[in-house]
Amino acid sequence: MEREKFRDSIATVDQQGKRSWVYPRKPAGRLYHYRQYVSYLLLAFLVASPFIKINGNQFLMFNVLERRFSIFGFTFWPQDFYIFVLIMIIGVVFIILFTVAFGRIFCGWICPQTIFMEMVFRRIEYWIEGDRGKQIKLDKQKWNAEKLRKKLMKWSIFFFISFLIANIFLAYLIGSDRLLLYVFGGPSAHLSTLLSLLIFTAVFYFVFAWFREQVCVIACPYGRLQGVLLDERSIVVAYDYQRGEKEKGRAKFKKNENRAATGKGDCIDCLQCVQVCPTGIDIRNGTQLECVNCTACIDACNTMMQAVDLPKGLIRYASEANIRKKEPFRFTARLKAYSAVLLILIGVLSGLLFLRSDIEANVLRLPGQLYQHRENGIISNVYTYKLINKTSLDYEDLQFRLLSHSGEIETIGNQFISVTSNSFSEGTLFVNISRKSLAKEKEKLEIGVYSNDHLIETTSVTFMGPRTYK
Ligand code: SF4
Ligand code: SF4
């Protein structure tokens, strides 16, 4: 269909398959100001998070190399991976729920790609090169001193900011303490880290200086999911075609004309919504996968509506059902189902976090060893143990005690084990039980880990003994 032709291609690639550079007009308006406040708040959060400590733990850290994560100050070890996976699943369900209800609102208001692109890099570009018209002119003109100065200035600032972002990224990855240590230790002492930093810098520079909206249009998996998540009741940034087109369609504005009487739509075909769009689309064609719901077109259109004395909201947050049938927002069955799943997952996560102990004990039988007879009818089994301290406190007096049977635990080395914060201690221990206390050849034992006479963790192991005892 001719009307749907725009869906066969993306706005940023021309007929020859070459990139069509987007020069969006500088946005302005109420929603843009709100987005600025939200963005600055989120930028501050993003920069500060790796440097905030809760009980000595980094507020947010994703050390994938050593498989150690810290979320809201809770440290997660590889053994806690199931909790980490659950948090990820909750995040995904939350985003899905949000997308079903509010479309790609996340992209426009919260996504770091949009925030950095629109609120940092693009603003610097406007500051150096000017608004849309001036940028187009500058790119078309031959290289001269002015163009060279502006471009060099822009590229240098972009590189510097990309380098800063790479440092923040590294602080999330390896921890802010280590990053600061490397920074103050000097680059020559940490050449491999410097190399990683420069690689990250190059990636960020490439994304924000050149790849830009292509991330949202062709690279981001979340953007691709939209097609299956949105329905006619999802609230998205939408053009009210009923009002904009009416019987005679959109038409340029003419002074003193009675638009209502002519049957022309409220859209005055000024193209402000198209020129301001950072992904280069025409929202009047309907919901498109390129739209990141940045609201720039809402502001642009409202300004025009105000100028020609027509009601605002020709482009607004609305659902297809709202525009077509004037239907208000409804909490649909799909939304209810997603919310229920989300609540259940949050409940399970809270339970797991509540039950999660500060010290985790793993006690395993030494492979290839059955049992030993000792003096006075004592049967002994040998185990290896690993005590993981997930807190920022140092423990110096950890001790194993047998809970389910009378007997004793003999730790090789010191009976009291010390484990410093966020680390682990491992070793070997013997469990010695009188033969008379054993009823079967294979018994399950409960072992407790004590600190200062307080039970802080329990674990169970299998104990092997001879076939007959009595
Ligand atoms: S269509 Fe509007 S909301 Fe969507 S990306 Fe373009 S300007 Fe932003
Ligand atoms: S800004 Fe509003 S009036 Fe102008 S073209 Fe877009 S929808 Fe029509």
Identify the band that residue 2 occupies on the pLDDT scale cut at 50, 70 and 90: low
pLDDT on residue 5 = 62
The ligand that comes nearest to the alpha carbon of residue 298 is 1
User: Which residue, by CA, sits nearest to atom 5 of ligand 1?
Assistant: 291
Contact between residue 243 and residue 265 where contact means Cβ atoms under 8 Å apart: yes
Instruction: Yes or no: say if 87 and 71 are a contact pair by the CB < 8 Å rule.
Output: yes
The whole-angstrom separation of Cα 343 and Cα 94 is: 10
Of the ranges 15-19, 139-143, 247-251, 306-310, which one carries the lowest mean pLDDT score? 15-19
3-state DSSP assignment of residue 408: strand
Cα 110 to middle of ligand 1, angstroms: 15
Q: Rounded to the nearest whole angstrom, what is the distance from the C-alpha of residue 273 to the centroid of ligand 2?
A: 6
Look-up of token digits 């990309």 = 162
> Does 114 sit in the ligand 1 pocket, CB within 6 Å?
no
Whole-angstrom distance, CA of residue 68 vs CA of residue 155: 36
Give pLDDT, residue 7. 64
Task: Specify the amino acid at residue 415.
Answer: Q
Q: What element of type H or E holds 427?
A: strand 424-434
314-331 residue pLDDT tens: 999 999 999 998 888 778
437 DSSP assignment: G
In which residue are the tokens 């690639």 written? 13
- For residue 24, give the ligand 1 atom closest to its CA: 7
Asked if residue 277 has its Cβ within 6 Å of ligand 1, the reply is yes
Average pLDDT over residues 251-273: 91
Ligand 1: which atom is nearest the Cα of residue 300? 7
More confident residue, 468 or 393: 393
| Rounded mean pLDDT, 37-49 | 96
CA distance 56 to 4: 57
Supply 172's token pair.
């999330």
Within 72-131, residue ranges assigned H as helices are 81-102, 105-109, 112-114, 122-129
107 lines ligand 1 (CB under 6 A): no
pLDDT band of 229, cuts 50, 70, 90: confident
64 band by pLDDT with thresholds 50, 70 and 90: confident
pLDDT at 150: 97
**DSSP category for residue 359:** E
CA of 336 from ligand 1 middle (Å) equals: 28
Mean pLDDT of 14-19: 82
* Residue 208 near residue 162, CB atoms below 8 Å: yes
- Read off the pLDDT of each residue in 53-67 and give the average, rounded to a whole number: 84
Which atom of ligand 2 has the smallest separation from the CA of 274?
Answer: 6
- Give me ligand 1 centre to Cα 318, in Å: 13
Mutate to test the pocket of ligand 1, among 22, 114, 277 (most ligand atoms within 8 A of CB): 277
Quote the ligand 1 centre to 237 CA distance (angstroms): 7
HSE-CB for 89 with a 13 A CA cutoff: 15
Most confident of 85-89, 189-193, 207-211, 441-445: 207-211
pLDDT attached to residue 338: 81
Q: When comparing pLDDT for 290 and 40, which is higher?
A: 40
- 296 CA to middle of ligand 1, Å? 6
> What's the gap in Å between 267 CA and the centre of ligand 2?
5
How many Cα neighbours within 13 Å face the side chain of 68? 15
What the block records as the tokens of 239 is 């053009």
pLDDT of 468 reads: 63
User: Which ligand number lies closest to the CA of residue 289?
Assistant: 1
pLDDT per residue over 80-115, tens digit each?
778 878 888 888 888 888 788 888 888 999 999 999
470 has a pLDDT exceeding 60 = no
Q: Which residue has the higher pLDDT, 125 or 19?
A: 125
Among 227-231, 303-307, 338-342, name the most confident range. 303-307
Residue 437: partners with Cβ closer than 8 Å, 6 or more residues away: 405, 406, 407
Specify the ligand 1 atom closest to the Cα of 295: 3
Query: Is the pLDDT confidence value at 469 over 70?
Result: no
Mutate to test the pocket of ligand 1, among 111, 291, 295 (most ligand atoms within 8 A of CB): 291
Residue with tokens 């169970």: 460
* Mean pLDDT computed over 184-213: 92
**Geometric angle at alpha carbon 464, from 462 and 469, rounded to 5°:** 130
Q: Are 197 and 167 in contact (CB under 8 A)?
A: yes
Q: What is the whole-number distance in angstroms between the Cα of residue 235 and the centre of ligand 1?
A: 14
Place 56 in a pLDDT band, splitting at 50, 70 and 90. Answer: confident
Q: Is 304 in the pocket of ligand 1 (CB under 6 A)?
A: no
Q: Which amino acid is at 451?
A: S
CA-based diameter of the chain, in Å?
Answer: 111
pLDDT tier at 3, thresholds 50, 70, 90: low
pLDDT tens readout for residues 167-198: 999 999 999 999 999 888 888 888 888 999 99
